Structure 1
Amino acid sequence: MPEHLDLGSLVAPEGYFLVREDAEPTPFVAAPDAGGPYEHRFTYRGSDTSIKRAAVELIASARRKVFLASFRIGDRDLLDALLAAVDRLRGGVYVITSWTEDSMRRDLASVEDVEDIDVQAQKKQFDQLTRRGIALRGHEDCHAKFLVVDDHRALVSSANLETSALADTPRKRATGENGVLLTDPAEVKRLASLFTRLWYSGCTWTALPGAEYALHRRVPVPSPVPPPRLPDGPGVIWTCRDGAGAERGVLAALHDVIARARTELLLATFSLVGIRDRPELLVEPLRRAIREHRVDVRLLVRGRNNIASHRADTAALAELGVRIYGDSDTHAKGVIADGRYGALFSANFDAEHGLFDGVEVGVRLDGHAALTEAHRYFRHAMTHADLRFASGPTQRDLDRGLGARWRRRWPYPARVPVTAADADWRSLVDAATAGPVLWEKDAEGLRLYVADVVAVLEPAARTRRRLTVHRAGTDAGVRLRGWFTERAGTGAAAQKRGFCPALLVREP
């Protein structure tokens, strides 16, 4: 039986996002607008972000009507612009949100791109809007984020219209977002027609303007305008499924752009959902691009260590040969091939909603200057991404760099002498075949969680610890998933947890 147990060399059976020690936070500086019907807009940490400025300016310029779709509305400047518009236009401001009485009752922490949501604060925002005369309806499947003013100009982006997605603040860094300002009359009109379709035939909740915020059930009715058609070339694209059928323009654009790639393919998403279960949506097209043309495929993705399926989908893409760039702040979505073909959109690479179902909106930008800027934005975000993905990290890797707010470095020596009874030592050695091996320190002492056992390490001398082993009620992997889902700062031990990289040496 070995008298040395190197926990630090154990390999985790799952992939994780680790902190990049060489990451250099660098703002993204936009190039001057080149003009034309499409202009790139963005947010990025430490940068002079432009999605918010474009949204506020559009709303301030409205002379007849404002159409707005967003999951959340929380930025103060944007709220003030909407309230000023409804006063100036004596109405004429229409908002679609996917927040409904049902979704407000759900555990919002489980919603795809919602973190740290204050339900009451969001309801207060909507109450303010409706009391001032803004018409608001709820569409339970609408994840699109877009703004149309006077059928003349529009903004399509990945950003929910709330502060963290629109600007840096002293309390929170800006979320990375991508978007397009549209001035092409035909495309803006098509987007307005899509909003009208959603307003009449898709929204199942409504709030009465001028009244206290309360959503009431409504029965959808046919839209008074004919449904817009998806474009054959550059223009507005969408995912939408209703009584008129399923339209999957975002998925079609994604597949078409991937098929055109010959040297480089840039992909970006906040989340990955179900792509291993539906390989035809993303895995197989990427496999063909890599196998047939040896395309250099790169993915910018949020480092969501708390979502096991997200990490598993990321690992599946890494196994294909996709280079993964994890980031703590990105929420941008898009696809660009060879810098020539591409689209930006609100949809995640999601087999359940974004690509196949729900309501999403984007813009195909082949050959336009806005695509060149979006390409430069994605390359910058990848170069300065703060996380890397490791398919099989060791305990030492996880101790040094797991991307999680609760992780703390192992606070004890790398070599830990222990004394232990034969049975306890044997139980620990037999259990320690793979990671994770977790440590936790609280008022009750220091514990290691290994597979289905817990090892208690009590001080026995100046340098040695007495080790005793017991059966744990929870497997270490299950315990780890629980730590990921806990809110930061909860529990007495929340600040004293991590991965154990120690070499345990059993002494007589």
Structure 2
Amino acid sequence: MSVSPWKKPFSEIDDQRDIVLPPALIKRSAQARQNTENFGDLFVSGRNRSMANAVIDMLHQAREKVVVSSFLLADKELEDAILAVARKGVRVYVLLASEARLGKEDSEGEFEKAVLAQHKEMLKSLVGYALFRSAPHFHAKLVVVDPDTNPAGMLLTANLTKEALERNEELAIRLTPSEVSEAVSYLKWAMWESAEHEMVDPKQHFRAVSPLGIVPHPESLTAVVATTSKSNSLREMALALIKQARKSIVVSSFGWDKDHSVVRLLCERARSGIAVTVLARERVSSMPALVSLAEAGAQVLTYRWLHAKAIWTDGDVAMAMSANLQADGLDHGFELGLKLSGARAAALKRCLDVWIQAAPYQVIERPKLGDLEGKVRLWRDKRLEEVDVQRRSEFDLGDVVADSADQLIAPRPPKSQGGPLLVLAHEIEYRWSAVAPSAVAKAKEVRPSSKNDTPSTPFRLPVLREPGGRVVVAVKSPKELSLAREVKAESGAAAIVLAQGVLH
């Protein structure tokens, strides 16, 4: 392709590496997650179903009583185990969230329609074998067997669904007999004094129930803490743990509330120099809190499916719990937490370390464009927007008409029409071309002034007056430019232009 003599290219490079972007989720160079699912008395979820199998084995050992508390129940093997022990004459009690809340739960894929359908089928298969009691605020996750004779139990962060037990990042802790006793005291109170509906007859749906008024609320327990309508010992334990940390804190949670006292305290501790590490699920509703934590200096790491709730500090005391770090969990609802120390606190730390090393994304509060590359999610306009950051990009700004054909010079045209950044790239090469001006269609020829009213001789090249009054010299080829400059000086013309019909 031939190069036009009436067009001159220009380019400039903008270095954008120091531009500060909105908060972002960036991909980490994370290690592959280990397949370990058992850390002594602590279990984590996974494809090997170690956590699920530990619960199922415990259920099969039941001889008198089983108590299950979960937001919902949708795992076939667990259902089969509950049904099997019930058919042997074991009494089974199940605490669940109300069906009305299940349908409205904002959980980003936690309870899809298929899971809810399986949960409802579970109710049909187990009703008549188990007593179900529900309330919209029931959120604790716990399984205990034979609490009065041969106590065993497991406190979980996971709902008893296949997805939670196999896919999510979840925790479960095996309880000691004394911890089972404490947990059951909360379960008894919740079942008989806090439940709002009951299902016991296969021919009936859930029916409203009233508190019995005879089961006391637990007081002054040692290991198990709770959120109930009468207690916030779980929240107080969370605050105490965070306050007592000397150098480091690790916190994992599904839900986060920026304005909650626990989250605010975490921000304060991070600003004071404590090494705070946060593990969270990637949720739009959690981003304001996660950004605040990152701004305070915390390391904020995210997973797609993380659901575990736990707090570990270097004060040798930790806690696993069902509560999210928000009002609906720490201030109201029915939640349970378990204090951990010694070997079990150390086991929790080992598990959290595995997740920290394998976390795929990190929240950066004010990243520089030059520190990012590839797919990035920016937090702006209250949403996560996926963008692609390039090392270098080229952008054609088009043609700019020069003032005169003999001086093909034009400044760079505006680079952006819709925002501060036209392209997310470390460097952008902007290209444009200066093109010669063309004669205006209605311009009229101008001749030199004559003496004695005799006809004047035309200029050696056409000289034209444009409708706006500007006088120009018209040329047809670059060979005429030298002469055009002379004519321009003779005629007092302002510029040299291309004659009609001459192409750029």
The answer to whether TM tops 0.5 is yes
Instruction: Quickly say closer, same or farther: Cα 1:411–1:343, change in 2 above 3 A.
Output: closer
Unaligned runs of 5+ in 1: 34-38, 168-173, 438-498
Q: Which residue of 2 aligns with 1:349?
A: 325
2:336, 2:399 → 1: CA distance? 62
Instruction: Quickly say closer, same or farther: Cα 1:208–1:365, change in 2 above 3 A.
Output: same
| Contact preservation (8 Å) 1:175, 1:329 | yes
Q: Which residue of 2 aligns with 1:429?
A: 416
Q: Which amino acid aligns with 2:226?
A: W
Displacement of 1:87 in angstroms is 0.9
Listed one character per residue, the Cα deviations across residues 426-476 of structure 1 (whole Å, up to 9, x for unaligned) are: 8872531269x8xxxxxxxxxxxxxxxxxxxxxxxxxxxxxxxxxxxxxxx
Unaligned runs of 5+ in 2: 1-10, 402-411, 434-504
Displacement of 1:387 in angstroms is 1.1
2:252, 2:398 → 1: CA distance? 51
| Residue 128 (structure 1) aligned to one of 117, 125, 128 | 125
1:104, 1:287 → 2: CA distance? 35
Listed one character per residue, the Cα deviations across residues 61-113 of structure 1 (whole Å, up to 9, x for unaligned) are: 111111111112111111110111211126x111111132x22453x4x2488
Instruction: Quickly say closer, same or farther: Cα 1:507–1:127, change in 2 above 3 A.
Output: farther
Secondary structure (helix, strand or coil) at the match of 1:123 reads helix
Alignment of 1:31-180 (within 5 A): 31=39, 33=40, 39-44=41-46, 48-89=48-89, 92-100=91-99, 102-106=100-104, 108=105, 110-111=106-107, 114-118=110-114, 119-130=116-127, 132-151=128-147, 152-167=151-166, 174-180=167-173
| Contact preservation (8 Å) 2:373, 2:391 | no
Q: Which residue of 1 aligns with 2:455?
A: none
Displacement of 1:419 in angstroms is 3.5
Instruction: Quickly say closer, same or farther: Cα 1:288–1:382, change in 2 above 3 A.
Output: closer
Secondary structure (helix, strand or coil) at the match of 1:349 reads coil
Q: Which amino acid aligns with 1:196?
A: K
Instruction: Quickly say closer, same or farther: Cα 1:85–1:7, change in 2 above 3 A.
Output: farther
Does residue 206 (structure 1) correspond to residue 205 (structure 2)? The answer is no
Secondary structure (helix, strand or coil) at the match of 1:431 reads coil
Q: Which residue of 1 aligns with 2:206?
A: 215
Q: Which residue of 2 aligns with 1:505?
A: 430
Displacement of 1:269 in angstroms is 0.9
Alignment of 1:293-332 (within 5 A): 294-304=273-283, 307=284, 309-332=285-308
Q: Which residue of 2 aligns with 1:16?
A: 24
Q: Which amino acid aligns with 1:266?
A: V
Instruction: Quickly say closer, same or farther: Cα 1:416–1:142, change in 2 above 3 A.
Output: same
Percentage of identical aligned residues:
21
Q: CA RMSD in A?
A: 3.3
Displacement of 1:141 in angstroms is 0.6
Displacement of 1:156 in angstroms is 0.5
Instruction: Quickly say closer, same or farther: Cα 1:25–1:189, change in 2 above 3 A.
Output: closer
Instruction: Quickly say closer, same or farther: Cα 1:388–1:57, change in 2 above 3 A.
Output: same
2:394, 2:180 → 1: CA distance? 65
Q: Which amino acid aligns with 2:282?
A: G
Instruction: Quickly say closer, same or farther: Cα 1:342–1:5, change in 2 above 3 A.
Output: same
1:372, 1:410 → 2: CA distance? 40
Displacement of 1:507 in angstroms is 2.9
2:287, 2:52 → 1: CA distance? 31
| Residue 261 (structure 1) aligned to one of 234, 242, 245 | 245
1:411, 1:322 → 2: CA distance? 28
Secondary structure (helix, strand or coil) at the match of 1:196 reads helix
Larger Cα Rg: Structure 1 or Structure 2?
2
Displacement of 1:358 in angstroms is 0.8
1:189, 1:208 → 2: CA distance? 25
1:412, 1:418 → 2: CA distance? 19
How many residues get paired?
Answer: 404
| Contact preservation (8 Å) 2:270, 2:296 | no
1:282, 1:51 → 2: CA distance? 29
Does residue 387 (structure 1) correspond to residue 389 (structure 2)? The answer is no
| Contact preservation (8 Å) 1:400, 1:409 | yes
Instruction: Quickly say closer, same or farther: Cα 1:376–1:96, change in 2 above 3 A.
Output: same
Displacement of 1:363 in angstroms is 0.5
Q: Which residue of 2 aligns with 1:240?
A: 228
Instruction: Quickly say closer, same or farther: Cα 1:25–1:238, change in 2 above 3 A.
Output: same
1:283, 1:406 → 2: CA distance? 26
TM-score normalised to structure 2 length: 0.71
Q: Which residue of 1 aligns with 2:393?
A: 414
Instruction: Quickly say closer, same or farther: Cα 1:393–1:122, change in 2 above 3 A.
Output: farther
Q: Which amino acid aligns with 1:201?
A: E
Listed one character per residue, the Cα deviations across residues 108-140 of structure 1 (whole Å, up to 9, x for unaligned) are: 4x248835343333322222222x522212210
Secondary structure (helix, strand or coil) at the match of 1:272 reads coil
| Contact preservation (8 Å) 1:258, 1:286 | no
2:131, 2:414 → 1: CA distance? 65
Displacement of 1:361 in angstroms is 0.7
Displacement of 1:371 in angstroms is 1.3
